[in-house]
Amino acid sequence: MTRPVHDDPSPGDLSMTVETAACVPEAAAIVRSFTTQLPGAPRALITARTWTRQMVTILGWPGDVQQAVDVVSRLVDNGVQHGVPSTAPLCERQLTLSVALDESGALLIDVADMDPAFPDFDAAVRGEKGRGLWQVACLGARVTWFLHHAGTGKTVRAALAPSGRPGFSGCSLPQTPSSAISEPCSPTAPQPAEKGSDSTPEGQQ
């Protein structure tokens, strides 16, 4: 189980970062991991990105650090939007972020929130309900979730394979009109410009 970070941690304070054991059993043993607490508010995203970049570098994960940072951004944003009850006092709205390296070389990213319910998880990963978890899958992560032992919340986990190994992603386009898809899994190749037209696609600098 994860050890408590601190009784009253300062959100995002690196001095409050601790090494932890794995939250749940995995096929591959955990080599090393770090955990911190974040405010359950939008300002957590900047802190989470900075912390993740530093901790993943310290872990020595043989993968794309920026990819890991992008995954964390989406998981934390999802946790802030959907995992923090609006009825909770402001001072108690928190998320817990963990990064761990296992013996297979995979990076495990956990974001724990305060809401134990996740009735639309499969639809969310498919992109049929929101885009956050679908984008995480499109970044090559295997996305799962599990309940806390105390039943007071849940953890959403993204597993990223190291460089040189196939990703875990089963990403596919969501079953929605193409006009509603803002970030497809694989960017389409630019089409040749017609004669006499501006060669710069609209919206690009």
Burial 141-179 (b: 16+ CB within 10 A, else e): bbbbbeebeeeebbbbbbbbbeeeeebbbebeebeeeee
In a domain, 55, yes or no: yes
What is the average pLDDT across 169-182?
Answer: 46
pLDDT value for 103: 93
In a domain, 7, yes or no: no
In a domain, 102, yes or no: yes
pLDDT tens column, 32-57: 999 999 999 999 999 999 999 999 99
In a domain, 198, yes or no: no
Range in 20-24, 94-98, 109-113 with the lowest mean pLDDT? 20-24
Q: Where are the alpha helices (DSSP H) in the chain?
A: 44-59, 65-82, 121-125, 132-138
In a domain, 200, yes or no: no
Expressed as residue numbers, the domain containing 152 is 15-174
In a domain, 115, yes or no: yes
In a domain, 5, yes or no: no
- Compute the distance between CA of residue 74 and CA of residue 151 in angstroms, rounded to an integer: 24
Model pTM greater than 0.85? no
CATH number of the domain to which 99 belongs: 3.30.565.10
Number of domains in the chain: 1
In a domain, 182, yes or no: no
- Compute the distance between CA of residue 56 and CA of residue 153 in angstroms, rounded to an integer: 25
Q: What's the longest Cα–Cα distance across the chain?
A: 66
3-state secondary structure of 33: strand
